[in-house]
Amino acid sequence: MGISQKVASYLEKGSWIRKMFEEGARLKAKFGEENVYDFSLGNPPEEPPREFLERVRSLLDRPGIHRYMPNAGFLEAREAVAQAVARDSGLPVEAGHVVMTVGAGGALNVALKALLDPGEQVIVIAPFFVEYRFYVDNHGGESVVVNSREDFSLDLEAISGAVNERTKAVLLNSPNNPTGVVYGQEEIQALGELLRERGRALGRDIYLLSDEPYRRLLYDGTVFPHVFQYVDNAIIATS
């Protein structure tokens, strides 16, 4: 087949999450849905609420909805997102700050494409969502893995040690998949200061890419602080 060597090797090594998901589907077909417990993807077992489905169906009839839209998405949708982020962060966020994407994976890829020059580095905090390496590689970047501490908190010293003149971003995920850790305000504030100081010393902007698809899945009063409040150059990806 004429596919590139890179894609061929990706297919070979492939995402284990996807392989497990496909194995789950195979086992369900063989042994019955009710006999297989599939923890591979975050697929909700329930269908969406009826009101949501009705709203989506009614939007399909809206004149003009099936035509091209601005690249960043419908203004109305971006305004609604901006209002929600402004309310949560207490900052003046506008539609012009928002790009609609297909999920958090799409958002991270758009952000990395916009940020990375060839060979620039992105610090990822281990353990991390396994697709991150592919996302960074998709846009000519290099992943630099920095371990968390034993309790999965941020090892700020190690992050500082990994920053160099090729560092473009730190990719952070909170609430975290797979550890479940939620970074606290002091950690985010200290990370913001670190990126500001190291960036200033190196004469470059170092971005925080905050991957937050699980922000709304917080329980028992746990709060994940809003990164815009503590980090100068921050981008949030969500779904």
Residue (106 or 199) nearer to ligand PLP, CB: 106
How many residues sit close enough to ligand PLP to count as binding (CB under 6 A)? 11
Cβ-based nearer residue to ligand PLP, 105 or 192: 105
Residue selected from 188, 211, 224, 231 as contacting ligand PLP according to rule CB under 6 A: 211
Residue 105 in the binding site for ligand PLP (CB under 6 A)? yes
Torsion angle in degrees (nearest 10) through CA of 58, 238, 133, 106: 30
Are 222 and 181 in contact by the 8 Å Cβ rule? The answer is: no
Q: 42 vs 161, which CB is nearer to ligand PLP? A: 42
**156 burial level (CB within 10 Å; 0-12, 13-18, 19+):** middle
Q: How many Å apart are CA 138 and CA 4, to the nearest integer?
A: 13
Task: Check residue 239 for interaction with ligand PLP (CB under 6 A).
Answer: yes
Please state the closest distance from residue 18 (CB atom) to ligand PLP, in A: 11
Q: Are 128 and 173 in contact (CB under 8 A)?
A: yes
Choice from 112, 124, 125, 129 touching ligand PLP (CB under 6 A): 129
Handedness of CA 98, 100, 104, 105 (dihedral sign): negative
Comparing CB distances to ligand PLP, the nearer of 39 and 118 is 39
Backbone angles phi and psi of 207, in degrees to 5: -95, 150
Q: Contact letters (x/-) for ligand PLP, 136-175, by CB under 6 A? A: -------------------------------------x--
What is the Cα–Cα distance from 197 to 179, expressed in whole angstroms? 28
> What is the number of the residue whose Cβ is closest to ligand PLP?
103
Select the residue interacting with ligand PLP from 42, 119, 140, 180 (CB under 6 A).
42
Among 14, 70, 103, 140, binds ligand PLP (CB under 6 A): 103
> Of the ranges 74-82, 99-107, 139-147, 153-161, which one interacts with ligand PLP (CB under 6 A)?
99-107
CB of 164 to ligand PLP, least distance (A): 25
Query: Which DSSP helix (H) or strand (E) runs through 174?
Result: none
Torsions phi, psi for 68 (to 5 deg)? -60, 150
The footprint of ligand PLP on residues 2-41 (CB under 6 A) is none
Q: Give CA–CA dist 182/227, Å, rounded.
A: 13
State whether the Cα torsion 27-31-33-36 is positive or negative. negative
* Residues contributing to the site for ligand PLP (CB under 6 A): 42, 103-106, 129, 173, 177, 211, 213, 239
